[in-house]
Chains A and B, each alone.
Chain A
Amino acid sequence: MMKLKSILASKILFNSKQKSISSGPGFFTIRAIFLLIWILVLWIGIIVHADRAESKLYIDITSPSMRRISIAMPDFKYLGKKNEHPDLSSKLAGIISNDFDLSGYFKPLDKDSFIEGPESGVTRDSIHFKDWSVIGAEILLKGGYECIGQRLKVEVRVFDVYSGSQLYGKRALGSVEESRYLMHRLGNDIIFSLTGHPGPFLTRLAFVGTSTGRKEIYISDYDGHNLKQTTSYNTITLSPRWSPLGDRMIYTSFRNSRTVLFMHDVIKGSVAKISDRKGLNIAAAWTPNGKELALTLTISGNPDIYLIDITGKILKKLTRNWGIDVSPAFSPDGKKMAFVSNRSGSPQIYVLNLINNQVERLTFEGNYNTSPAWSKLDRIAFAGSSDGHFDIYTISPDGKDLHRVTQDQGDNEDPCWSPDGRYIAFSSHRTGSKHIFIANANGENQRQVTFFEGDQLSPSWAQHFR
């Protein structure tokens, strides 16, 4: 707890009157300590403050249904003398506004409703909080920036509109070119200070895209920006899966009409062939320690799941059944593995206990359940069909608490979890072609994040590689 306290302390800007921001422990004042205790109280989820306005800030992101907090994020102010990059004013605010919208915790207010005059600044004293409370803002995020050539200095302050108190303040330095990265980093920090959990804004997605007419692997930021085509094999490449660290990726690609499993080192840019056995080499999953992979091979004549090391050597045959066994997904402790099998006649999800080798059927509703994804928060997402359309569901690993995530919006498939298990990504056909959507773990706040030509499907979500 003490460690957390110091982390929080270093993130909060205490002297809101001072224009330049400092976060050293030397700035501790009585007020700051109060604020710190308050944040801590929020963080452990017990509200002891009598102040009604401040109690609104309590953000319990674990509750099944959460009210989104109204946040106002006006364009950033230029704090220097000569503004060399006036476009950044709305761009910087736009990046963080989109982050907060996608986070699911906040509801950014429409800029058109803002009534604040141009004379107001970014510090507490220069803000007329009535201007914000009257339009329904609960939280106000104010930002300023300064450029020297390509150098960019950004400062961000977060205020509780009702009490007028500053909840967060920090400055970040970088280049104009990496402004998206800077804003994501600040956004993560703000989310951490308000919820106790880091935000997802520096995570990345890998997915299959069809814009070239072939299926290739692409990587983008979690918000769909910064798109890069990773493969140009000009064949069919499928099932990208990030390593737990987010430094490597495995995928299946066709070579001479056959499926081959490859490992792509995203940092070095190198590609290695991992499994090229006779028959299928498909749908691999990483073990949580990143040292082994499970995949489906048909070397015995039947599709079974095998455990291999990252050089491709077979360690163990995990499933033995006449049926089709595919799509493995490990529990966060690595002791169980969910997979799809048609051993009962139709594709259903099963859970294999890797300690005692017991297999239990997980899904009983619907005639086609597939694509299990096991979250770090111990929940299994899958795609299921009962009415001819596929939809995303989540279920507890013991088979209880089935929750439907999508409904009546075309086909929704390929679920995957964010590295922290707080968000879910999937492909949806709701707009007429397939795009990647992200949502809160409970399915609320579904947002489209890829808008590229063709289809985007089969997402995999990587943590920020440091």
Chain B
Amino acid sequence: MKITDETITYVAALAKLELSDDEKDRAKTDLENIISYMDTMNEIDTSNVEPMSHAFPMKNVFREDVVTNGDERDNLLSNAPVKKDGCFIVPKTVE
């Protein structure tokens, strides 16, 4: 699998990362090696195999619809880098 500059720019954008030119070059080499290695999976025919997300067939794990939590605002905001009026703060999102 050939990894292009566009691919690196695209996956960096998806992962919300800003890469320097050096980092991009390095990522290109690394990803190309790694993805090519991943391509070895194609050596085996899996057309008759169902994808397996969970190793064990667990099913139907539920909780009942009962309120168990109270107000934990101070705890939740205790790690916030910036906060105001009981809220987390981000740069303006609406135009």
Q: Do A and B bind each other?
A: no
